[in-house]
Amino acid sequence: MSAPIKSTILGFPRMGSDRQLKKLASYGLSEVPVGDFSYYDHVLDAALTVGIIPERYQQLDACRLAGNKSINVDVPSLEMKKWFDTNYHYMVPEVADNQRFVLHNTKVLDEFLEAKELGHNARPVILGPVSLLALSKPAKGAATKPLDHLANPGASLSGAQWVQVDEPILALDLDAAVYKAAFAETYNAFAQVAGLKFLLTSYFDRLGDNLVWAAALPVHGIHLDLVRGAADLDAALELIPKDKVISAGLINGRNIWKANLEKQLSVLAKITAARTPASVWVSSSTGHLDEETLGWLSFAEEKLEEISILAQAATNPDDVAAKLQDNSAKVLSRATSERITRAAVQNRLAELTAESYRRQAQFNERQKAQRAALRLPLFPTTTIGSFPQTAEVRRARAQFRKGALSQAEYQKYLEEETQKCIEWQDQAGLDVLVHGEFERTDMVEFFGEHLEGFVFTKKGWVQSYGSRCVKPPVIFGDVSRPHPMTVDVARFAQKCSPNKPVKGMLTGPVTILQWSFVRDDQPRSQTAAQIALAIRDEVVDLEAAGIKVIQVDEPAIREGLPLRKSDYSAYLEWSVNVFRLATTGVRNETQVHSHFCYSDFNEIFTAIKSLDADVITIENSKSDLKLLGALQVHGYSAEIGPGLYDIHSPRVPSVEEMAARFSALQQYIPAENLWANPDCGLKTRGWPEVKEALTNLVTVAANARKAH
């Protein structure tokens, strides 16, 4: 028997179980992480730990402490941003000029001690200081940048052996002149903490150029994502000094497919050939949030088993021979299944021509045709699609799923809700109405349930932000649309509103792809094109049913952007193409809308333009007009509705506040192209605040029309 190789993971799903430690150890993992769990957001936790708390909250706290209960609690929340290229949102910390770091919150420490009491010498996981500051933004009016404040926040985790420091920004294109020094300063300081060993981890992509200096940092171990960052391996073996541990991320933490253990074993063999077994760990590829993306508890557990099999097989293959054989058989059966490859879908893809990706006329001509057909006022008002998913709506759906409500009863209930929603919008004075999306839990599940090639789990929840979760479907085979999905509800909604157009509401191919677990046996672009054809059929059917405005949401298009600039263009090309494939099957009169959450659009503006949508709605209320500068720079000329208020908080924006924003918008966007709408869908809100906010919004547009 050779010395065993250690096995570990970088983190475990947040949703579901709260007995993680016990489980991890029982799967035979020798090194167990702790502190990766968060009740809300791990970036917020990290910021709180070191006392990064915006002044507006400190004041609030002080007032509360002073017993002042009648204080005005109207403080804007922190901005939320997508976590790398995942669908997770983190709270963006704000660093002020006078920022001091103090140990403000002892969560990691407490959890470490708790694990110790249970008999585990666990490895605390912290978000690295460089990443924390790089992901922060300057507080309003601050003259300094967050990174200027880099200081050693101090790790008082005495008694721990290993501390895992996650520095996911190492997977980005970094300015070496700035970051090499920032990392060196931080990790030199860490190295002074006696008795602690630091495992520097990075994931989401290759380290690339950053490897040269990251390998030289004075840490005790480096984790490599060898699924997404396989290209780093040769250089890493050369550059990482032999006395450091290499933690090999060989089991994909971002997807749910069984690993090909034979293939991963050969990668592991390459590492063990160059290192002593004691300095090699086998791990999951990605960090704790990726394990959350995985979110799928039983699958997460199988991954633990795969990791432990790999670790054993590296030194004692005979012990796990049967398990390895079983793995190869399953990998092979998937590769050859006829449920996966379907000729009709493949043929249709092969027959596409340039016309399949083009509208009949250019935007200017379409705009004229749409004006004549729709007769909308100046500054048309609309919403992004969903209306409040109240407890009652969710209860009705749950009862339908349990069989307590029949299909007909559920249908009737949905129609009543839709009708009420349409009538309210009409009375409130909105111009382009929506049916409210009461039949949907989230943007993807509904479509996945109606398309072929998808399967579902009952409990595969993953976190989107805070306590909000989604349940991604699994795309296992070729995708097609056996029957229309939204035509009935759209037709019904339009019937409830004879005088105003109702928008058909669909999720775009890139977003459906991005928010599913996607098959790994063909390029993502090909799976996306299959989804696009299904959506195209739906768009054409909606038009035939008399729907004049059709919105195809692509909130995830920015999130799918690769982390490295050199990978951008290939992604943007196919993602623009599949959107066009989905939306160009209609006449000039039919107005195609698209919606994107988030405003970090600079890198992709050319792509957004190439989507050739007639109207886009976009998050704007929190982005300090950055977006609008980009609009001008890139010469955006179609119609656009930058959101007038943030829907993530129950706060009702006043007429004055939105009017100020709306007049700022008019400096950048020609009046005849400007729409008035919220930032995003309203499903997380309650009716009273929605009614108040939208009534104010309609007033803003009406006043602006008068003033124009």
- Footprint on this chain of ligand GLN (rule: CB under 6 A): 384-386, 437, 443, 505, 553, 555, 595, 597, 680-681, 683
d(CA 185, CA 417): 59
Of 443 and 518, the one with the shorter C-beta distance to ligand GLN is 443
Residue 648 annotated as catalytic? yes
* Min separation Cβ 506 and Zn ion, Å: 14
In the list Zn ion, ligand GLN, none, the entry touching 505 (Cβ below 5 to 8 angstroms by class) is ligand GLN
Residue 421 interacts, among ligand GLN, Zn ion, none and using kind-specific CB cut-offs from 5 to 8 Å, with none
The angle subtended at Cα 612 by Cα 609 and Cα 618, nearest 5°, is: 60
H or E element that contains 150: none
Residues 6+ apart with CB under 8 A from 165: 126, 127, 128, 190, 198, 199, 200, 201, 219
Minimum distance, C-beta of residue 591 to ligand GLN, in the bound complex (Å):
16
Site string for Zn ion, 560-599 (x = CB under 5 A): -------------------------------------x--
The least distance separating ligand GLN from the CB of residue 195, rounded to whole angstroms, comes to: 47
> Which C-beta is closer to ligand GLN: that of 229 or that of 678?
678
Q: How far is CA 543 from CA 20, 175, 491, 505, 508, in A?
A: 50, 49, 10, 12, 16
Within 10 Å of residue 235's Cβ, how many Cβ atoms? 16
Pairing mode, if any, of strands 474-480 and 517-518? parallel
- Report the distance separating Cα 117 and Cα 281, nearest Å: 25
The entry of ligand GLN, Zn ion, none that residue 214 binds, CB within 5 to 8 Å by partner kind: none
Query: Does 556 contact Zn ion by CB under 5 A?
Result: no
138 near Zn ion (CB under 5 A):
no
DSSP code, position 144: S
CA 596 vs. chain centroid, Å, equals 12
The count of chain residues that interact with Zn ion, using the rule CB under 5 A, is 3
H/E segment holding residue 311: helix 297-315
User: Which of Zn ion, ligand GLN, none is residue 24 near (CB under 5 to 8 Å by kind)?
Assistant: none
Taking CB positions, which residue lies at the least distance from ligand GLN?
681
**Which is nearer to ligand GLN, 232 or 437 (by Cβ)?**
437
Find, among 234, 225, 243, 324, the residue nearest to 279 by Cα: 243
Structure tokens at 329: 């058989």
**How far apart are alpha carbons 411 and 403 in whole angstroms?**
13
| CB burial string 123-133: b at 16+ within 10 A, e below | bbbbbbbbbbb
- Contact flag: residue 508 with Zn ion (CB under 5 A): no
For ligand GLN, the closer of residues 440 and 524 by Cβ is: 440
Question: What part of residues 655-684 is at the interface with Zn ion (CB under 5 A)?
Answer: 680
Q: Which residues pair with 280 in a beta bridge?
A: 246
553 binds, among ligand GLN, Zn ion, none (CB under 5 to 8 A by kind): ligand GLN
Q: Which does 385 bind (CB under 5 to 8 A by kind): Zn ion, ligand GLN, none?
A: ligand GLN
- Asked if 618 touches Zn ion (CB under 5 A), the answer is no
Could you give the 3-state DSSP secondary structure of residue 330? helix
Task: Using the minimum distance from each CB to Zn ion, give the nearer residue, 268 or 443.
Answer: 443
Closer to ligand GLN at the Cβ: 41 or 559? 559
How far apart CA 385 and CA 387 sit, in angstroms, is 7
| Candidate list 89, 149, 648, 708, residue with the active-site label | 648
The residues annotated as belonging to the active site are 648
Q: Which positions lie near Zn ion, rule CB under 5 A?
A: 555, 597, 680
